Amino acid sequence: MLNFFREIYRIKELRHKVFFILIILIIFRILAAIPVPGIDIARLKSLMQNNQLIGLLNIFTGGSLDNFSLVMLGLGPYITATIILQLFTILSPRIKEMYYEEGEVGRQKFYYYAKIATIPLSILQAYGFIFFLQNQGQGIITNLTTYTLIQFIIAATTGTMILVWLSELITEKGLGNGASILIFAGIVAGLPSSIGQALSTYTPEQLPSYILFIIIGLIVIAGVIFINDAQRLIPVTYARNVRGRSLGGGVSTFIPLKINMAGVIPIIFALSLILFPAMIGGILAQSSNEIIKGIGFFLRDFQNRNFIYAVFYFALVFFFTFFYTAITFEPKEVANNLQKVGGFIPGVRPGEETAKTLSDITTKITFPGAIALGLIAILPIVVQNFTGIRTLSIGGTAILIVVSVVLETYKQIKAQITMREYERL
């Protein structure tokens, strides 16, 4: 580990990237400490401890709800907008062409439209969240006037767009996904206070619960590491060729296909969609129409229906694992690149047949990976039903995100260190 940090410090460009990301994270934590006026923070924290939805939302926003800060919504609206547009790649040939075929310019246009869609989604989510808190009946929001409501919505929308910009700056450095790193930073920042609170309220009767939590945490960590590192090696052989008087090629290598190519993104996507209906439910619950009001109460209290909630959560993680793998891994592109350099999979024709083989293999190995990731995601919720410990589900999700982000970032940094070692040789 010391050698790893020594290598980071030794390589000037990599050192600057790491320091830049640390500065961005400091800015994020400063923004998360700027509260929006008109909120009873003590009552909000009390609600967060007793409400699973608010606890998950606090994790998803990187701990920004602790004091109802400027960045209270986190990157949720932006992630939701990205999901909606990516789903439209299936329905709209124009969006599909822009995302897949126009290269980097098309991707920039795609995410530009996602930023535009983030604004109305932020307004809608802020409005729903404020009314959700107001309906809790604990006096969390004081003196809610039209002016205060507009103030809240503008502040929340501005905070989200600032976070979108900061996450893009992190992603550009090539050391991991910016959104994941910001969420990771919020979780880690809240660990000292969470540990302190757990120790201050500890009683001997709680020892079995604490031991159970530690065991589940270790299982989640081991499971995440296993599915992140597990891969299938596809053998590739390169044809022999003559260049001048030398004979080249004829070597064999492998294409490593990971069981979980999507990393932690499916969890973040699933959380985004799980939290959004509750915000909509908070708005619909204000309706005078009994049917709409009933739908609003169902959506708002959805997270309290543990079995349905767990099944829906598992299904979303399973779906987004396949979905994100499909949009990030292109078998046709890999097959074309292999054909251009004279590579082929033994027993498989180059071109279309190679692409089909890679697609079939990816589907087969992603299936168990998606199931494993979904089971890890809902494991704490299942245990909660047997133990009644509400914090387990929140802690398990946090552990899942933290471990996945650490592994992803470590591999990105290690890859850049290795690349520079080759350059030096």
Contact (Cβ atoms closer than 8 angstroms) between residue 380 and residue 221: no
Residues 227, 176: Cα–Cα separation, whole Å: 18
Residues 192, 195: Cα–Cα separation, whole Å: 5
Dihedral pair phi/psi, residue 289, rounded to 5°: -75, 125
Q: What number is the average pLDDT over the span 37-61? A: 65
- 356 Cβ contact list (under 8 Å, min separation 6): 331
Residue 321 CB burial class (10 angstroms; 0-12, 13-18, ≥19): buried
Residue 154 or residue 96, greater confidence: 154
Strands 241-243 and 246-248: antiparallel
Predicted TM-score (pTM) of this structure: 0.75
Instruction: Detail the DSSP E strand segments found in 203-304.
Output: 231-238, 241-243, 246-248, 252-258
DSSP line for 117-141: HHHHHHHHHHHHHHHHHHTT-S--B
What's the token pair of residue 214?
């530690």
Instruction: Say how far residue 245 (Cα) sits from the centre of its chain.
Output: 53
Q: What number is the average pLDDT over the span 390-401? A: 62
Contact (Cβ atoms closer than 8 angstroms) between residue 381 and residue 306: yes
- What is the maximum alpha-carbon separation in the chain? 85
Instruction: Detail the DSSP E strand segments found in 34-131.
Output: none
Which among 256, 261, 252 is positioned nearest to 233, based on CA atoms? 256
Contact (Cβ atoms closer than 8 angstroms) between residue 125 and residue 276: yes
Which among 340, 339, 372 is positioned nearest to 354, based on CA atoms? 339
Give the model's confidence band at 31: pLDDT under 50 very low, under 70 low, under 90 confident, else very high: confident
Residues 392, 170: Cα–Cα separation, whole Å: 30
- 295 Cβ contact list (under 8 Å, min separation 6): 281, 284
- Interval 123-132: pLDDT, tens: 888 887 777 6
Beta bridge partners of 242: 247
Instruction: Detail the DSSP E strand segments found in 322-416.
Output: 343-344
What's the token pair of residue 355?
């692409």
CA atoms within 13 A on the CB side of 323: 20
Among 142-146, 315-319, 341-345, 375-379, which range has the highest average pLDDT? 315-319
State yes or no: pLDDT of 387 exceeds 60: no
- 255 Cβ contact list (under 8 Å, min separation 6): 233, 234, 236, 334, 358
Q: What number is the average pLDDT over the span 246-265? A: 73
Q: 79-83, 108-112, 388-392: lowest mean pLDDT where?
A: 388-392
Q: 10 Å Cβ neighbour count for 292?
A: 14
CA dihedral of residues 424, 181, 185, 229 (deg, nearest 10): -80
Q: What number is the average pLDDT over the span 166-185? A: 85
- What pLDDT does 354 receive? 85
Q: What number is the average pLDDT over the span 274-302? A: 71
State yes or no: pLDDT of 77 exceeds 70: yes
End-to-end CA distance of the chain: 23
